[in-house]
Amino acid sequence: MARTMKNRLSRRSFLQSSALATACAASGVGSALAGAASARAEALPASGKPSPIRLGLASYTFRNFMRAELIAFMRQLDVYYLNCKDVKDHLPADPAFEIQALNDYASADITLHAVGTIAFPKDDEADIRAKFEYARRAGINVIVAGDPAPGTLQRMEKFVREYDIRIAIHNHGPEDELFPSPFDVLKAIKDLDPRIGCCIDVGHAVRANANLVEAIHAAGPRLYNMHVKDLADMKSKDSQVPVGKGVLPFREIFQALIEIDYHGFVDLEYEIYPADPMPGVIESFAFMRGVLDGIGYLTKTAG
């Protein structure tokens, strides 16, 4: 890349400082605390070790915004890993438009690591192949699958083997008749190719009474993606808040991921205030970076 690591660290430190200060201001904390957070963020490059947790973004967070705006937001956030979806023009399914999107992301140093969520509602070979081709063209090896119909799993296994692309089945909480929790996913896939695994959505999982630490350990090497959000009430889908303002145990979540040697991404999927998500997104990343700092790591968003 054209940018040196020194420049990236300097830029990251500045943006982490700004994000933390913004989060403090948004929470009503005084300027003295914001200044302390700023100084602490500046010290991270000298004191931390690289984080094994890679923070990314689900493009659905910015579903009301076009690709150029999404890229600008990501650069402001100093986040360069994207779980992309065919919403607006983020990653169109049409091959010609998909190529242009890929060029735009590459020019901005943004790495696409997953696509989805993608629905697999029917046991149809042509439909399933088209979705694997979509991921293959993008050079992506993880498809986050939303509610695949039971009859599709065996056929999806065939394509997983043909394309060597992993499937991460996303749990959707108690409203989901098929996969309310990660444990339901694991039960359904236990006899299938190990490249068929889980995307744990922590907000939906706790509403389905799943213990998040236990779910992470149960998934182990079949955990291929994480969608994170926070809730003020573990039973209420409508209680979503910026990460850190709710009740989900993020320190324990991150520690569990480190314990299983998780190599995937932790993608923020901030679903509230779709017309103006940036304040909550900034606050969420500042909190997650702060948690990792507290564990003893320097957050590393690219490299």
Q: What DSSP designation does 274 have?
A: T
> Does residue 121 contact residue 149 with C-beta atoms inside 8 Å?
yes
Token pair 């694997």 is at which residue? 132
- Residue 138's alpha-carbon distances to 31, 60, 85, 167, 193, in angstroms, are 44, 17, 12, 15, 23
Does the pLDDT of residue 12 top 90, yes or no?
no
Domain boundaries, the chain: 1-47, 52-298
One-letter amino acid at 186 equals: L
Q: What is the pLDDT of residue 31?
A: 34
Among the listed residues 56, 48, 49, 18, the one whose alpha carbon sits nearest the alpha carbon of residue 34: 18
Residue-wise pLDDT for 240-268, tens only, equals 999 999 999 999 999 999 999 999 999 99
Confidence class of residue 77 from pLDDT cuts 50, 70 and 90? very high
What kind and span of H or E run contains 87? none
Nearest partner of 147 among 111, 175, 168, 171, judged by Cα = 171
Q: What is the 3-state secondary structure (H, E, C) of 191-227?
A: CCCCCEEEEEEHHHHHHCCCCHHHHHHHHHHHEEEEE
Cis check for the bond before 22: say yes or no (omega within 30 of 0): no
Rounded to 5°, angle at Cα 63 from 14 and 136: 90
Residue-wise pLDDT tens digits, 25-61: 443 433 333 333 333 334 344 346 889 999 999 999 9
What's the mean pLDDT when you consider all of the chain?
86
Taking residues 97-109, report their average pLDDT.
98
Two tokens at 239?
Answer: 């209680």
How many Cβ atoms are within 10 Å of 219's Cβ, its own excluded?
A: 22
Question: Inter-axis angle of helices 95-107 and 125-137, to 10 degrees?
Answer: 30
- This prediction has a pTM of 0.83
Cα–Cα dist 240/257, whole Å = 22
pLDDT of residue 147: 85
Which architecture does CATH list for 52-298?
Alpha-Beta Barrel (3.20)
